[in-house]
Amino acid sequence: MTALEKWQAQVRACRSERSESEEQVWQRLAQWYGDWARHNDYVSRVLPCLLACVGEQSRVLEIGPGSGAFAIRLARSVGEVVALEPSPNMRTVLEHNLANVGIGNVQILAQRAEDGLAELDDAFDLALASHSLYNIEPIDRVIGDLMRLARHVVFLMGVGAQSEWYHALHLRFCGKSPVPVASFCEFYPMLMEMGICADVEILMTRSNYVYDCEDSMLDWWQGHLGLDASRRDELRAALMGKAERRGNHIGIYGVNRSALMWIERERNQFSF
């Protein structure tokens, strides 16, 4: 089995385990995603590296901007950000956040990366995909398009290790171990298979699930695990054994490893 086939098999395995469609997942996560970015530090850890390679006239392409954690900050320093966001709910949140801070140089395209990139023929100084490639099966085509479009291509994704508490929670309430998403462990061998040279840095980043109150925490995990109301008290007991109260919030706090991959097109001309 090739590295590409292993990635695709993992995407299919993860997809088959879900009880929700792709759009249902992002409908549930749209409002929460901004809180996730705000209570964790991956944006602040990676943003300085991105800003170092762009200027006032630069054009940036982002795959899956979500609520705008990177797009908003990049837009303040560059000429234009083009963002591919297929989820209607995520686009609504992003448009609201952009309007709130008065940013008008972000163009949002309502397309999936595997569809929309092939239609682009503009040149970009930077292309970014932050935790947004996990569900893409034709990943080789997406990588090829990004390499064609941008001088610098940056990927940020998890390394695939699941926390012990999450594994135990899923096993207890779903009766089986969770299927991990396709991650760096499958992605990097695929880059090598494609003949792409990438600089890699493994970052220890916060992995904090933070909520305004106990009920909000229960609501989120009840939806995530697909539980009915009859198991809410059992879920409460399980979560409260791990949760901490910090200030006005309650959450499950931890750290995780993320892989920051940086690709220079000039070093990979033999591939694309």
Domain boundaries, the chain: 3-207+255-264
Q: What is the pTM of this model?
A: 0.94
Q: Which residue has the higher pLDDT, 194 or 162?
A: 194
pLDDT of residue 270: 53
97 touches 72 (CB < 8 A): yes
Q: Tell me: the pLDDT tens digits for 64-74?
A: 999 999 999 99
CATH code reported for the domain at 3-207+255-264: 3.40.50.150
Distances (CA, A) of 19 to 4, 15, 223: 25, 9, 11
- pLDDT exceeds cutoff 90 at 49: yes
Which residue's structure tokens are 């970009």? 124
Q: State pLDDT tens for residues 171-190.
A: 999 999 999 999 999 999 99
Q: Phi, psi at residue 29, to the nearest 5°?
A: -90, -10
Mean pLDDT for the stretch of residues 235-244: 96
